[in-house]
Amino acid sequence: MSSPREPAPGTGRGAPALVAQGICRSFGGREVLRALNLTIGRGEFVAILGRSGCGKSTLLRILADLDPEAVGKVEVPARVAVAFQDARLLPWKRVAANVGLGVRDPDVEARVARALADVGMTDRHRAWPSTLSGGETARVALARALVREPELLLLDEPFGSLDALTRLRMQELLATLCARYRPTVLMVTHDVDEALLLADRVVVMVDGVLEHEVTMGAAASRTRSGDRFGVLREQLLGMLGVHGH
């Protein structure tokens, strides 16, 4: 899949969309985030890779202002939407009600309808969450984030539980929607290919800080068949401590 996105706007141009400085978080005396810094440009798509348990979800919760005990400075836009690792749909509400939850706007129905159309779920708007497939659930979770018209979209392994084919479809859908709405995106993933295909920049979390980063550059380098793709893939796997494949 080649991404329709333009090259990264770069963090140097204009005011950044997200600034996190000196983020620290410990649990029971164990330091998870150690003075972590991250700046993301407006409209930039950044992916975070890192070993399980290294603190990626912890960082996203802090950026979403869901962790009052974290230390450090966070500047984010007014409209932030989060899609968590598990979709967290309310089982007693139908799909449309889940998507519109918490949206205060007299036009909420029209916005929900548009978000469901964006993710190809118009015909399931009255379905109960328990009747959805994994891929459909991921689509609804994405619609619930998009309906907020976020300036910053925080995605925590949004496609982590999906089979390979559905995952590819969802990656294409996300790339299309990002090209259309141009939000700033920070996405956690375990999938190096997914990070390379979707992101303008990939950062690697090690020991509580973002230790490495790889910038994708032109969209052409994001095709799996490109030489650069393979080189960056090896680099990132090395940074993650995975060698010899």
Ligand X SMILES: Nc1ncnc2c1ncn2[C@@H]1O[C@H](COP(=O)(O)OP(=O)(O)OP(=O)(O)O)[C@@H](O)[C@H]1O
Binding site for Mg ion (CB under 5 A): 57
Contact yes or no for 170/145 (Cβ under 8 A): no
**Which of 5, 56, 111, 139 forms a contact with ligand X (CB under 6 A)?**
56
Orientation of helix 108-118 relative to helix 134-146, angle to 10°: 130
Q: Cα(28)–Cα(77) distance, rounded to whole angstroms?
A: 31
| DSSP-derived pairing of the beta strands 184-188 and 45-50 | parallel
Q: Is 55 in the site for ligand X (CB under 6 A)?
A: yes
Task: Map residues 76-95 to x or -, x wherever contact with ligand X holds by CB under 6 A.
Answer: ---------x----------
**Which of 9, 43, 50, 100 forms a contact with ligand X (CB under 6 A)?**
50
Closer of 57 and 215 to ligand X (Cβ): 57
Pick from 185, 187, 199, 149: nearest CA to 42: 185
Query: Candidates 11-19, 55-63, 145-153, 216-224 — which segment interacts with ligand X by CB under 6 A?
Result: 55-63
Q: Which does 162 bind (CB under 5 to 8 A by kind): ligand X, Mg ion, none?
A: none
Query: Candidates 53-61, 89-97, 113-121, 126-134 — which segment interacts with ligand X by CB under 6 A?
Result: 53-61
| Strand runs labelled E in the chain | 18-27, 30-40, 45-50, 71-75, 80-83, 152-156, 184-188, 201-206, 209-215
In the complex, least distance from residue 225 CB atom to ligand X, rounded to whole angstroms: 29
Q: Which does 225 bind (CB under 5 to 8 A by kind): ligand X, Mg ion, none?
A: none
Q: Is 27 in the site for ligand X (CB under 6 A)?
A: yes
Paired with 20 in beta bridges are 38, 74
Q: Cα(27)–Cα(9) distance, rounded to whole angstroms?
A: 36
Closer of 129 and 208 to ligand X (Cβ): 208
Q: Which does 55 bind (CB under 5 to 8 A by kind): ligand X, Mg ion, none?
A: ligand X
Closer of 39 and 57 to Mg ion (Cβ): 57
Q: Cα(215)–Cα(200) distance, rounded to whole angstroms?
A: 6
> Which residues are near ligand X by CB under 6 A?
27, 32, 50, 52-58, 85
